[in-house]
Amino acid sequence: MFLRYSYILGGLMIGLVLATPVRAATQDPTPIAACPTDPLAPAETPRVEIDTRNGPTIGTMQYRDGGGLRNKEIALTFDDGPNPDVTPRILDILDKHCIKATFFMVGFYAEARPDLVREVAARGHIIGTHTWSHPNSLRHLSMASAKTQIKRGFAAIKTALASAPPSDRTALAPFFRFPGLNDKKSLIIWLGDHNIATISCSFGADDWKHINANQVYARGLGAIESEGRGILILHDTKPHTADMLSRFIVTLERRGYRFVQLAPKPTSRTLADATPLDLRNALP
């Protein structure tokens, strides 16, 4: 344990010396406040806002539009939670590094632990949805069943946030991610009719596979280094993801990457509210 912390602290010191002048020389002349618990990080995560009008498809692994991320910008996304064991660990690590992320939640788990949904919102993260029960692929379901999966996913998060402070309720974004990234044209169009964006990714770290934390760390870094920017998919259901996350973030910071948060444009929320999914038969 001591050795591990020494290593991380040593890395922080070296990174601080290297990173500070670069940031000061190339960024806004106003000094950027540092994260109190991570001297390599800024105190706030800039947002990359997605205009969800007509349901764009975002994420270079599958689509042309990368979401507008600039070189060396990384957006962290977490799928399949909320999970009572792993989500709180992930939230603490993100707080430690002053990073805001985007969570794609499964309705069934959100209904089981609405307190965790509210906690994710209260800590400043954005919440998109990822169906009600995470079937492997919506392609094999009827349109009616697939739509119910999507609607119940949104309904579960809405219900969980109904008792949250009004400012936290805006955490729910008109963002949808297909399970297994198995999209379907007709569903993308239907989501677009409701001004909901389909959010894919640029790369993953294979953390859904049976591999250990070091392998997740190495594969995630490898994917990021080969693309230079993008939306990363991780899972807040996997202990090995939480095990490597802090080290992973520090390494990226030392290599000059900056974290951004995928969020909807404020006008997108209004637009999606004006074209709501019909949740009458979808409430859990």
**Least separation in angstroms between CB 167 and Zn ion:** 28
**Least separation in angstroms between CB 236 and Zn ion:** 11
Comparing CA positions, the residue from 157, 181, 179 lying closest to residue 168 is: 157
**Least separation in angstroms between CB 131 and Zn ion:** 8
Name the residue nearer to Zn ion (CB basis): 15 or 128. Answer: 128
Name the residue nearer to Zn ion (CB basis): 79 or 168. Answer: 79
Contact positions vs Zn ion (CB under 5 A): 79-80, 179
Rounded Cα distance between 171 and 168, Å, is 6
- Among all residues, whose Cβ is closest to Zn ion? 79
Strand partners for 77: 102, 233
Name the residue nearer to Zn ion (CB basis): 73 or 79. Answer: 79
Q: Please state the three-class secondary structure of the chain as a single string.
A: CHHHHHHHHHHHHHHHHHHHHHHHHHCCCCCCCEECCEEEEECCCCEEEECCCCCCEECCCCCCCCCCCCCCEEEEEEECCCCCCCHHHHHHHHHHCCCCCEEEECHHHHHHCHHHHHHHHHCCCEEEECCCCCCCCHHHCCHHHHHHHHHHHHHHHHHHHCCCCHHHHCCEEEEECCHHHCCCHHHHHHHHHCCCEEECCCEECCCCCCCCHHHHHHHHHHHHHHHCCEEEEEECCCHHHHHHHHHHHHHHHHCCCEEEEEEECHHHHHHHHHCCCCCCCCCC
Which residues neighbour 210 within 8 Å (Cβ) at sequence distance 6 or greater?
Answer: none
Name the residue nearer to Zn ion (CB basis): 138 or 272. Answer: 138
**Least separation in angstroms between CB 41 and Zn ion:** 27
Strand partners for 258: 73
**Least separation in angstroms between CB 273 and Zn ion:** 26
Name the residue nearer to Zn ion (CB basis): 96 or 134. Answer: 134
Name the residue nearer to Zn ion (CB basis): 80 or 236. Answer: 80
Name the residue nearer to Zn ion (CB basis): 80 or 243. Answer: 80
**Least separation in angstroms between CB 18 and Zn ion:** 37
**Least separation in angstroms between CB 134 and Zn ion:** 6
